[in-house]
Amino acid sequence: MAMTVDARVSRTRPVARSAPVVRSWTVSNCSSPCLVSVKLRALLVFRGLRIESTRTTLTSHSSSRGSARSQRKGIVCEAQKTVTGVARAVTEATWTELVLNCDTPVLVDFWAPWCGPCRMIAPMIDEIAKQYAGKVRCLKLNTDESPDIATKYGIRSIPTVLVFTRGEKRDSVVGAVPKSTLTSTIDKYISW
C-alpha cells in the first residue's frame, strides 16, 4: 500500500504568518501509522524556527566534579524576542528581573494549563498587553512550574491577576473577570 502526501507550496513564494512548507513525500509499503507520522512530521519546515543541535547548560551538583554540562537538542523560536503586545512568561528565575525591578506597572496572570477559566482569560491578557504596550508589562506565571512564587503571594485560586508597582504588590483580581474589570484595575496604577 502506497501513501503519497503531495502539497505543493513554493519555497520562493512568500509564506504568510509562518505557514508550514510541505515537501512532496512518498511512503511505500508502510503499514505502521507510527512510522508514517514520524516521517510526515519530518517534512514540515517553519519560518522563524530553527533546530538547535546542542544547547549546553551548566548545572551545579554536590558531587566532587563541581558542575556538570548537559547537552540537548531543541527547537528555538527566533521571533520570541521580537514579539510585542503579547504577555510573556515569567518564572522563578526571571521573577526579580521582570517583576520586582521593573519601573513600569506589572500585571502578572497566575494560571495553570489544566485550568479552564485561565484559558478563557488568556486572550484577554494578550489584548491588554497590546493595548497597554509601553505603559504596563504583562506577564504570565504558570503556577505548576513556579509554585513557590504563587505561595509567596498567597495565590489560592486561579486565575488570579496581580498588579505590581515598584516591586510591591498593589492589587489583585481573582477569577475569570471581564476585560473592563482588568483595565479599570490597571488604569489606577498607570500614573504611578
Q: Which residues are catalytic?
A: 115, 118
**Please, are residues 139 and 88 in contact by the beta-carbon 8 Å criterion?**
yes
Could you give the residue ranges of the DSSP H alpha helices within the chain? 33-41, 95, 116-131, 147-152, 179-187
Residue 103 sits at φ, ψ, to 5 deg, of -80, -25
C-alpha cell at 10: 513554493
DSSP three-state, residue 74: strand
Longest dimension (CA), the chain: 68
For residue 3, the cross-strand partners are 27
Q: Which of 127, 60, 129 is nearest to 88 (CA)?
A: 129
For residue 164, the cross-strand partners are 106, 169
For residue 2, the cross-strand partners are 28
Query: How many whole angstroms separate alpha carbon 161 and alpha carbon 111?
Result: 9
**Please, are residues 128 and 107 in contact by the beta-carbon 8 Å criterion?**
yes
